[in-house]
Structure formats: C-alpha cells, structure tokens
Amino acid sequence: MTNILVTGSKGQVGSELQILSKDYNYNFLFTDRDTLDITNEEAINNFTQTNNIDIIINCAAYTAVDKAEQDRKNANKVNHLATQVLAEIAKEYDIKLIHISTDYVFDGKNYKPYSENDATSPNGIYGATKLAGEKAMQAINPENSIIIRTSWVYSSFGANFVKTMLRLGKERDSLGVIFDQVGTPTYASDLAKAILDILPQIKNKTVEIYHYSNEGVLSWYDFAKEIMRMAKIECEINPIETKEYPTPTTRPHFSLLNKAKIKKEFNLSIPYWKDSLDMCLRVLGERK
C-alpha cells in the first residue's frame, strides 16, 4: 500500500485530510511539529526510511501573516528551509511531494486572475518566505512533485475568517468588513479532496505549479454578508476600505487565481464558493 506522510496535520488542510483519509486506499501517517521536526533533515530522513514513505503532502506552514514581520527567522524556517529539506529528501528517495503555497506570493496589483506563470512580488515576510520555499523546491526539482497555490482558506478547524465572523456576528450588532480586497475563498475540505483525487495522475519531470481555490469572485465584505445570511445572524455588515483597517502586512487587493491549468490537466471539477460555504456551515452546525 502507498504510504503518505502528511505534515502540518493539525492545520486546516491537514485536519481535512484526516477526515477524508478513510475514503482512500492509502496508508496515512499524520504528523505535526510536536511529532516530527520538518526542519531537521536527519529526522525527516529517518522517518521517511523507517516508514517507507512514497508521498509527502506538506501542509505545514507559518501562517501568522502579521506576526511574521517581526518573526522572520521562524517564518523562514518553516516556509522556506523546511520545504527545502523536504524537497531534498523527496529527490533523494524518489518521493512524490505536494507542497501548499499561497496567493501572497503576488502583490495583488493584477487586473485579471493570476496564472501560474505571472511574475511574483510578495508584499511581506510571509509571502516572501513562501516564495523562497517554492523556489528552493524548484531548484532541487524532485520528480513527480507539485506546488499548489491557494487563497483565503477556511474550514471547521482552527481559526479562520468564517469562524471569526460567526463569533463576532453573535457578539455585535454591526461589523465593518473590507470591500476593496477581492479574491475567492477556499474550503480546506475541497482542497484536501482535490489533492487526494489528483495524486495518482501526478507525473512530471520538473516541479509544476498549480492554482486552486473555489469558483467565483467576491470581496471579504461579500463573504461576511453571505455568512450572516446563511447562518441567519442579525448583524449589520458595513463595507470599509483597507486603509480603515491598517495591518503590519499589506494584503493583496486582488487575489483571484486562474485555475484553468489544474482543471484541464487533472479533469478536476471545482465547487462554487457559496456551495462550499453552505457545506462548512452545516459541518459547524451553523446553517439555518
């Protein structure tokens, strides 16, 4: 049986992979930072050899976007150096590597959905360290390995926009939510399923990059409005500009990802964002 190492298994995508694992004929080994230090080449080497790993799905990431500005060392360690270690191990032992990256590798100044070949230009440390991880993986170039960039990830696990809106919507009569940042949410369960579905089809000599999010386009304001509508929460959502909510890191104003490549090459059908939000709210018991 195929042995799959999943790193970052307590994160959103890793948690969804655990839920889905029972539906796939693979032997999964789920790890997190407490059970496997992915920045330690010896530890990864020993683990992959001991467990005869065939595939690595790297869900581990330093995702505290604003905190990364003051914590560059740790952000770089997880997002860049750990990816480099995993790529080296994958190349040495002919292991298939699937690495999850982010829309933050772009500056958000585009006028049409970003394709995989568009120029990268991250605005902050988080995006810069994720891009450094991508480049390290491409330079090492393990065969049958891919990078998947995604955006606006949410799920029933961990901290995310959907759960924050549900909580604040119940606590307050009104909320101001940014309307001038546009993109598409990604339900982590959909991304996890897509990864598992395309695994058998991944066959490439050089590292390929793909984009994945749910279908559709909206602002954070639109997203919040729909969350409240579906959950029947009486909270007024007011549109505000980014400049009214300053953060240490500049967020991309335009994060739309062109998903034509992953859909065509893997014959993949991607759910519409409202359908996926509906599903997540049902899992949370919040769909009214």
Q: Which amino acid is at 169?
A: G
Q: How far apart are CA 112 and CA 254, in angstroms?
A: 9
Q: Is 187 a catalytic residue?
A: no
Q: Which of 104, 114, 126, 212 is catalytic?
A: 126
Distance of CA 245 to CAs 150, 181, 195, 219, 221, Å?
24, 12, 34, 15, 13
Distance of alpha carbon 210 from the chain centroid: 12
Kindly report the number of other CB atoms within 10 A of residue 51's CB atom: 13
Terminal alpha carbon distance of the chain: 42
Q: How far apart are CA 142 and CA 90, in angstroms?
A: 6
| Exposure b/e, 121-155, CB count within 10 A at least 16 = b | ebbbbbbbbbbbbbebbbebebbbbbbbbbbbbbb
Bridge partner residues of 101 (DSSP): 149
Please give the positions annotated as active site: 126
